[in-house]
Amino acid sequence: MSSAPEPTLRPLLRRLSYWGKFDAADEQALLNLPHRTKNIERHGYIVRERERAIHSCLILSGFAIRHKIVVDGARQILAVQMKGEMVDLQNSFLGVADHSVQMITEGEIAFIPRDEVRKLAFAHPNIGMAMWFDTLVDASIFREWIANVGRRNAHTRLAHLLCEFALRLKVAGLGEETEYELPMSQEQLADCTGLTSVHVNRTLKALEAEGLIQRRSSRSVTIGDWKKLARAGDFDSNYLHLHEDEAALA
């Protein structure tokens, strides 16, 4: 009884299966995508803004961020990406990268040639639609972040971000219902929310004082009362376009 080796691209299949139904041929074609994998250390770049991107990169482990640097050197984080997510469909299909993608933990990345992805998408419409869907959900999250950063105060903004992480980590199978390990420093949280790290610190402590979250080690977040935190964060999971049974916690 020889067990077949676990296919490297399984996490991608898991992720895309969330958005659509595939038949056996679809699955085989997906898992057989040519690729090479590479370990990238913490803070290593996957793509840099203005570079020509020709691979679609899949996160097999670890966390990455998308970010841009504005004129005075300030950084804005645009998204946090986790296992199973394709971080460079966007840049590679568009040609020249309009933002950078960087690891915030050490992790393993699969590099898939862009043209293979494109061929697969049109040869297998089920997969193509799921991939398109996936990029549309990314766009939906970007929209929510515009509103978060543009129109919510620091308190609400941070609570919202913590809710988003809780739910996305749960769906990705990476976190508990009400407790998770946040892979980010307070400075990185600040760059997600358009705040300063000093104010993130103040605000996090306020959230803790109100009993909305607890923090054991500096990175672990425990959500005391999901409903209350969601209310404080003006959080409505609709924009994540999850299946109904996963759209809420607890």
Partner DNA sequence: CCTTCGCTTTAACCTAGGTTCGATTTGACG
Partner DNA sequence: CGTCAAATCGAACCTAGGTTAAAGCGAAGG
Site for its own copies in 66-85 (CB under 8 A): 66, 68, 70-71, 74-76, 78
Contact assessment for residue 177 and residue 165, using Cβ atoms and an 8 Å cutoff: no
Residues 204-223 interacting with DNA (rule: CB under 7 A)? 204-205, 215, 217-219
Q: Which amino acid is at 70?
A: V
Question: What's the DSSP call for residue 102?
Answer: E
Of positions 54, 225, 234, 249, contacts its own copies by CB under 8 A = 234
| Residue count, binding to DNA (CB under 7 A) | 20
Q: Which is nearer to its own copies, 141 or 174 (CB)?
A: 141
Determine which residue in the list 10, 75, 199, 228 makes contact with DNA, applying CB under 7 A. 199
| 189-to-59, 139, 162 alpha-carbon distances in Å | 21, 20, 10
Q: Which of 56, 90, 102, 186 binds its own copies (CB under 8 A)?
A: 90
CB 103 within 8 A of CB 44: yes
Under the binding rule (CB under 8 A), the answer on residue 227 touching its own copies is no
Distance CA 127, CA 209 (A): 46
Q: How far apart are CA 108 and CA 122, in angstroms?
A: 27
Report the amino acid identity of residue 216: R
Beta strands in the chain (DSSP E): 36-40, 45-47, 55-59, 64-69, 75-81, 100-103, 107-113, 179-181, 213-214, 220-223
Does residue 69 interact with DNA by CB under 7 A? Answer: no
Residues numbered 150 to 189 that lie near DNA (CB under 7 A) are 153-155, 185-187
211/224 Cα distance (integer angstroms): 7
Which of its own copies, DNA, none interacts with 237 (beta carbon under 5 to 8 A by kind)? none
**Closer CB to its own copies, 83 or 160, in the complex:** 160
The residues that touch DNA, with contacts defined as CB under 7 A, are 153-155, 185-187, 194-199, 201-202, 204-205, 215, 217-219
The residues that touch its own copies, with contacts defined as CB under 8 A, are 49-50, 66, 68, 70-71, 74-76, 78, 89-90, 93-96, 98-99, 118, 122, 125, 128-129, 132-133, 135-140, 142-147, 149-152, 156, 193-194, 234, 238-239, 241
